[in-house]
């Protein structure tokens, strides 16, 4: 029997849909704020409901999703209060300024007013109240709330009996004595569910931190303190339908739902991306037991960079992917409480995957160390590699004299014979960026081998004073029979050009030193910051050398907020040596597995003939393969994402005189919010008299072009018109379309 004595609010969240939640006691229908309530580039969506402990529960996304009731409609108890709820957190916020991610609150901590019940980092939870110009806190020490599981929490405040209590799953877990007959100080702020009244604002962005992520069900407030027996009785009654045990939550019922973003007209669909929210670079690719695993920097709390986890995808073929639960998360373990940052993977002594990562601990100096996590495959045989066990202490802690002290991140690891080799990004005092080298015989104890390579920072100032994300791969023999390797880095620092730079050269394995063939670094991509964050692997199945990157969205925080995501990966690339010693790049052939209908195929057509055939070829998810013979043209290429009247279009072309591949995006969008990402980009590509051969991928906002397997140009376009779907061959004279094929492309993830 539900106990209604003193009940002043009850949100059951049982609505099947809609943008309101009913308070069954007051009859007030509270508005549920949500970024996708009125989406700008997507279909609008109601706040999500999932199966609750009783009926439905309301899902809170962690950044845009909350309920606020104006203070004038709220009567806050002062002498006694109980808050009761079922909660299933999906992730923990970092708890900046030690502010809680509230279940419910109406408070001002600085003024010592009101109350808040919520969660801090790593699942610690607390009730806090303002009492007679004091701020009083009670914590459930040793009883953290687990992720992705239901917990029944109750907090009581009893002025007359001078006590505050916390209950977890029907049992008392904390008691705190207070001054008798001291009332909660009234607060005139709104009553809020899942959002902190005084949340920390993240820089110059619309993001307010200290918010709750996960499900809430059966939220109740009383103007009296429930007794221990009443708490136990309520807990038992909720679990009666489940035989007295808390039901498990299927992963599909609590995961981030990528289906919500499938119709966003700018969100790529066959480029791999997180289901929602923020990603940075993909990293740590590895092949194991017939599956490719790829991880990525991920903030599951929102589309911003703050609380970094390792997201996880898996694929049988590098084209079709599945989302898995994140692999690594920050923990209260003395190792990585402040983030699990970029790293790589390697096979351990048993041939099972292990992850090396940058373990963030802001209480330590330096705060960046190398952590290690091993797959539990040998224990449980679970082939998706969902579970990982962390080594309890860092395996490398930077010492003074090893690079630039305090900048030490992004380990790249491989095994050769019985030895593991590790490279990590750093800098040097006055000499610019560098990569540091280590070796080990057991993955735990590492020997420092010195700088792997240092460039001339005075000559190449664009390489900055710190290098991140090193990748080092064998390329095979050149035409003289010399073994070649490639070193890729991402520069950082005041003058750094944040692109993917590389050198080809020779590797001295004994000395752990790299010597480039040419001192000047080269670019893979010409798109100016849209192609960054490299990682790589030697594919044991095919022997290919594969590169993975992030494709930056380069949009404003405001647009990311209302879209629900930021960034995606680029298409996986296979790199190789051309006969002339230049680096070759090509998209992996598995992309053909995503081909849908072939929309056109032609050979030996003039410009006008080709464009007549292209009049009805339209789409924003396409692969285009075209070879152009210049004829009298000095500039030739394609117009892409064209509206019928040419009001919006993107021009991709090759300039014969400048030997440059160029994209002109000045007419790509009429959207005033896209003004910051227009302009012209490009760079040199020497074709040496060959025809221009382009492989182009259009994927909503993505434009990726590969020229003669020599260079890529990755960029973004955000057309405002929904009919900007056409294409044309373009040139400033006569030309011949030697061949052209266009395919529709299918999504990489099942919806």
- In degrees, to the nearest 5, what angle opens at C-alpha 378 toward C-alphas 376 and 380? 65
- Is the peptide bond prior to 366 cis by the omega test (within 30 degrees of 0)? yes
**Distance in angstroms (rounded) separating the CA atoms of residues 662 and 669:** 18
Q: What are the structure tokens assigned to 100, written together?
A: 């809680």
Q: What's the Cα-to-Cα distance from 554 to each of 35, 491, 529, 632, rounded to whole Å?
A: 19, 18, 8, 37
Q: Which two tokens stand for residue 122?
A: 């790593």
CA 225 – CA 184 distance, rounded (Å): 13
- Cα end-to-end distance, the chain, whole Å: 42
CA atoms within 13 A on the CB side of 278: 22
Tell me if residue 283 falls in helix, strand or coil. Answer: strand
- CB neighbourhood size of 644 (10 A): 13
- CB atoms < 10 A from the CB of 554, how many? 16
Residue with tokens 């995961």: 255
| Alpha carbon distance 260, 270 (integer Å) | 16
Closest to 212 (Cα-Cα) out of 59, 70, 76: 59
pLDDT at res. 4: 86
Cα-atom radius of gyration of the chain, to the nearest Å? 29
Q: What is the pLDDT of residue 2?
A: 64
CA dist., res. 498 & res. 490, Å (int)? 6
Token couple for 571 = 């298409």
For residue 461 the two structure tokens come to 């100032």
Burial class (CB within 10 angstroms; exposed 0-12, middle 13-18, buried 19+) of 378? exposed
Q: How are strands ordered across the β-sheet holding 291-299?
A: 321-328, 309-315, 291-299, 277-288, 565-566
- Domains delineated in the chain: 66-252 (2.60.120.200), 595-745 (2.60.120.560)
Q: For CA atoms 433, 439, 444, 448, give the dihedral sign.
A: negative
Helix (H, G, I), strand (E, B) or coil at 644: coil
In sequence order, the β-bridge partners of residue 529 are none
> For residue range 62-86, what is the model confidence (pLDDT) as tens digits?
999 999 999 999 888 999 999 999 9
What DSSP letter does each residue of 65-115 carry, written as one string?
-EEEE-GGG----SSEEEEEEEEEES-----GGG--EEEEEEEETTTTEEE
Cβ-based neighbours of 688, under 8 Å, separated by 6 or more: none
CB atoms closer than 10 angstroms to residue 401: 8
**Whose CA is closest to 564, among 135, 333, 260, 235?**
260
Whole-angstrom distance, CA of residue 63 vs CA of residue 564: 9
Burial class, 245, CB count within 10 angstroms (exposed 0-12 / middle 13-18 / buried 19+): exposed
pTM, two decimal places: 0.97
Exposed/middle/buried for residue 690 (C-beta within 10 Å: 0-12, 13-18, 19+): exposed
Number of helices followed by number of strands (H, E) in the chain: 5, 50
Please classify residue 121 by burial: count the beta carbons closer than 10 Å to its beta carbon, then call 0-12 exposed, 13-18 middle and 19+ buried.
buried
Among 531, 409, 514, residue whose Cα is nearest residue 466: 409
Which residues of the chain are modeled with pLDDT < 70? 1-2, 751
Count other C-beta atoms under 10 Å from residue 201's C-beta.
10
Q: For residue 666, what pLDDT is reported? A: 96
Residue 246 neighbours by CB distance under 10 Å: 17
Euclidean distance between CA atoms 527 and 642, whole angstroms: 20
């Amino acid at each position: 029997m539900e106990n209604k004595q003193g009940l002043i609010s009850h949100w059951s969240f049982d609505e099947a849909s809609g943008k309101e939640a009913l308070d069954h006691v007051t009859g007030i229908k509270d508005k549920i704020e949500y970024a996708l309530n009125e989406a700008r580039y997507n279909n609008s969506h109601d706040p999500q409901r999932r199966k609750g402990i009783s009926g439905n529960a309301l899902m809170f996304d962690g950044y845009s999703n909350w309920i606020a009731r104006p203070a004038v409609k709220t009567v806050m108890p002062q002498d006694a209060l109980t808050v009761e709820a079922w909660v299933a957190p999906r992730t923990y916020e970092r708890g900046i300024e030690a502010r809680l991610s509230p279940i419910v609150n109406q408070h001002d901590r600085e003024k010592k007013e009101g109350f808040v019940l919520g969660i801090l980092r790593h699942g610690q939870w607390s009730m806090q109240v303002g009492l007679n110009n004091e701020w009083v806190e009670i914590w459930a020490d040793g009883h953290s709330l687990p992720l992705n599981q239901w917990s029944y929490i109750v907090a009581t405040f009893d002025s007359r009996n001078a006590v505050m209590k916390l209950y977890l799953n029907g049992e008392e877990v904390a008691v705190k004595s207070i001054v008798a007959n001291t009332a909660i100080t009234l607060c005139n702020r709104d009553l809020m569910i899942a959002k902190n009244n005084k949340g920390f604002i993240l820089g110059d962005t619309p993001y307010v931190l200290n918010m709750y992520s996960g499900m809430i069900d059966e939220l109740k407030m009383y103007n009296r303190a429930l007794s221990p027996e009443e708490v136990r009785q309520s807990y038992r009654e909720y679990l009666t339908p489940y035989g007295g045990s808390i039901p498990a939550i299927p992963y599909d019922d609590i995961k981030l739902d990528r289906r919500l973003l499938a119709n966003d007209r700018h969100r790529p669909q066959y480029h791999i991306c997180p289901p929602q929210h923020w990603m940075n670079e993909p990293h740590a690719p590895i092949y194991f037991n017939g599956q490719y695993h790829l991880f990525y920097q991920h903030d599951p709390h929102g589309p911003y960079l703050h609380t970094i986890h390792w997201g996880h995808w898996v694929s049988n073929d590098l084209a079709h992917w599945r989302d898995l639960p994140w692999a690594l998360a920050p923990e209260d373990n003395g190792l990585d409480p402040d983030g699990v940052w970029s790293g790589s993977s390697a096979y351990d002594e048993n041939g099972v995957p292990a992850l090396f990562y940058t373990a963030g601990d802001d209480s330590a100096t330096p705060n960046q160390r190398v952590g290690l996590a091993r797959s539990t495959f040998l224990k449980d045989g679970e082939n998706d590699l969902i579970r990982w066990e962390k080594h309890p202490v860092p395996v490398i802690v930077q010492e003074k004299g090893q690079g630039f002290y305090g900048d030490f991140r992004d380990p790249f690891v491989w095994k050769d014979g019985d030895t593991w080799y590790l490279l990590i990004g750093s800098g040097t005092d006055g000499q610019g960026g560098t990569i540091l080298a280590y070796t080990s015989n057991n993955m735990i104890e590492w020997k420092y081998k010195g700088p792997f390579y240092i460039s001339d920072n005075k000559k190449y100032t664009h390489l900055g004073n710190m290098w991140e994300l090193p990748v080092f791969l064998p390329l095979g023999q050149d035409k003289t029979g010399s073994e070649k390797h490639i070193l890729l880095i991402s520069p950082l620092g005041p003058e750094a050009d944040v692109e993917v730079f590389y050198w080809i050269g020779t590797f001295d394995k004994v000395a752990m030193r790299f010597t480039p063939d040419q001192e000047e670094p080269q670019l893979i991509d010409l798109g100016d910051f849209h192609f960054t964050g490299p990682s790589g692997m030697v594919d044991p199945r095919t022997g290919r050398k594969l590169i993975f990157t992030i494709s930056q969205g380069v949009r404003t925080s405001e647009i990311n907020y209302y879209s629900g995501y930021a960034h995606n990966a680029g298409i996986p690339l296979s790199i190789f040596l051309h006969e002339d010693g230049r680096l070759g790049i090509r998209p992996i052939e598995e992309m053909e597995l995503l081909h849908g209908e072939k929309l056109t195929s032609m050979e030996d057509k003039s410009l006008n003939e080709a464009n007549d055939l292209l009049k009805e070829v339209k789409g924003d998810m396409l692969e285009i393969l075209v070879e152009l013979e210049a004829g009298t043209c000095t500039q030739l290429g394609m117009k892409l994402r064209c509206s019928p009247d040419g009001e919006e279009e993107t021009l991709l072309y090759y300039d014969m005189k400048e030997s440059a591949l160029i994209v002109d995006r000045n007419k790509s969008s009429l959207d005033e919010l896209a003004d910051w990402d227009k302009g012209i980009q490009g760079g040199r590509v020497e074709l040496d008299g060959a025809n221009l051969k382009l492989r182009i991928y259009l994927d909503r906002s993505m434009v990726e072009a590969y020229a003669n397997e020599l260079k890529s140009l990755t960029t973004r376009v955000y057309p405002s018109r929904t009919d900007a779907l056409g294409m044309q061959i373009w040139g400033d004279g006569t030309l011949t379309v030697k061949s052209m094929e266009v395919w529709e492309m299918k999504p990489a993830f099942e919806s």
